[in-house]
Amino acid sequence: MNRMAEIGVTISHAVEQPEPRHATAEEASLLGIQKAALVTHIRRTYYSEDGRPVETADIVVPAAHCEIVYEIPINR
């Protein structure tokens, strides 16, 4: 998150909410997939150290073209 650091914002964490659904006609056209094909819609929000949401993104990926894997560190 270098671009945030350049404006004095330190990112503490991000939250992603993946949701399977069917592609809209526009998404299908842009992604080169069939209308109503399965996609994964990911809503991502970055938070600053003080808990403010500072950036959001809506990401749509064809379900047949990707695998979503999360690694979660366990602090002891």
- Residues 13-69 have pLDDT tens digits of 999 999 999 999 999 999 999 998 999 999 999 999 999 999 999 999 999 888 888
Class of 2-65 per CATH? alpha beta
Dihedral (Cα; 22, 20, 14, 32), 10-degree rounding: -40
Q: Residue 74 — very low, low, confident or very high, per pLDDT cuts 50/70/90?
A: confident
Residues in the chain: 76
In which region does residue 8 sit, left (phi positive, over 0), alpha (psi from -120 to 50) or beta (all else)?
left
Distances (CA, A) of 71 to 3, 68, 74: 24, 10, 10
| 33 secondary structure, DSSP code | -
